[in-house]
Structure formats: C-alpha cells, structure tokens
Copies of this chain bind each other. A is one copy, B any other.
Amino acid sequence: MSDNQQNCKTIPTITAFEHSPDRGRGLARDMPVRWAFEEVGQAYDVHLVSFRAMKQTAHLALQPFGQIPTYQHEELTLCESGAIVLHIAQQHSGLLPPDTNARARAIMWMFSAVSTMEPVIVQREVAILAESDRNWHQQRLPLVEERIDSRLAQLSNRLGKADWLDGDFSAGDLLMIQVLRRLKSSSLLDNYPNLAAYVARGEDRPAFKRAFDAQLTVFNNLSAEL
C-alpha cells in the first residue's frame, strides 16, 4: 500500500460473486474494476454476494438489475462496471491521458468496448447458456459468430500494429481487452493475431495479474470450503 493510500481514511468497497460462474477465469464484471484499482494503486474491499442475495431488496437498492459489481465509497454508490472504471480513472491518474482530446478518445474506446464489442460477444454466451437445448441452436450459432467476426475484423484493422488503441494504455484498452478475453474459450480470436497479442499484452500487466489472482483466490477459497 502506498503512502497516499495510508493517508486515506476510507477505501471503496465493491461487490463480487460469492461463487463466480466463470470458475475464477476473471470474466465476471468485478474483474475490470479490480484491474482499474490495481492500475491506479487504490486499495479496495470486496463484499461477496450470493446469487440469492443479488436478487433481494438490499442489493437491488445498490444495483437495480441484480448484478455485480457495485461500488460504494463514502456517500457514493455506483453500478455498471464501465461507469465504475471511468469513476476510478477520473479520481486517480494512470488510466486516462491528461490531454483533453486524448481523454475524450480514451472514454470513446470505453463506450466502444461495452456497447459495440461486448453485446455481440455476450450474445454467443447467451446462445450457449440459454439456447443450446433448442434444436435450432447449431444453425443459429454461426450467425452469431459471424457478427462477432465482423466486429473483430474492424477492430483489428483499427489497432493495426499498435500496442494500444490510442497512444498509451488507457481505461479504453482495459475495458476492450477485458471484453475480448471473453472469447478466449472460442477460436474466434485466432484469425486476428494482433488482437490476440493485444489481449496478451493486457494480461501481462502486473496490475492485471494482481486483479486476476485476487478474484481467483475468492473462487479457490470457496471451492476449498465446499
């Protein structure tokens, strides 16, 4: 913990799955928030919630859609991982460039990640989790994957040979890499070596590793108890 943090009176608390459905692969939405905290060197507490508790009144007061993560610090309660990462990035240095225009572009990539890339990627998961028992699932899956591939091709063209989407690593890269990580259990990134390398570059950051280990510890501790 840095001197800066020791001088702070309180630290933020986030919520995360008590038992993450991704089995500790760092795909739940507490992961980008943990990663952002680690990038800026802000300590945080974690309150674990069960699936049952997530749908009850106390949690719905924090998160109207019954999801994780939430963020609580002093008088402020937030949800939406994109908004929480943006808040952290605005409160600390390290995740948004100081130049006003570059800052607006980094925030643009945050929106691209959660509203242009993620929805098509999540549709594949919805199909597999919620529709694989339907007799049309195998016919439909290629349509879903074509939509993902089309977006990946466009993102790959834009990234080109660059390390990050726009200058130095930013909160835009953090969210985009986190979204692309959802595809690691598929072969969809295989056609785009520059995107696969981009993801690997993100995962190689010490802050990513600390965040990943922290969420994996939660999963492993739970598994040891069961």
Which residues of A are at the interface with B, using a C-beta cutoff of 8 A? 60, 64-67, 75-80, 82-84, 86-87, 101, 104-105, 107-108, 110-112, 114-116, 118-119, 122-123, 126, 130-131, 134-136, 139-140, 143, 147, 151, 154-155, 157-158
- Give the CA-CA distance A135 to B140 in the complex, in Å: 11
Q: Which residue of B lies closest to A104 (CB)?
A: B87
- Among B84, B136, B155, the residue within 8 A (CB) of A64 is B155
Assuming A66-B154, A119-B122, A122-B119, is B79 touching A108 (CB within 8 A)? Answer: yes
- Give the CA-CA distance A9 to B155 in the complex, in Å: 34
**Distance to closest chain B CB from A127 (angstroms):** 10
- Nearest first, the 9 closest Cβ-Cβ pairs linking A and B are A136-B136, A119-B119, A64-B158, A83-B108, A80-B111, A114-B115, A83-B111, A82-B111, A76-B101
Q: Is the CB of A140 within 8 A of B134?
A: yes
- Give the CA-CA distance A134 to B83 in the complex, in Å: 38
- Give the CA-CA distance A84 to B135 in the complex, in Å: 42
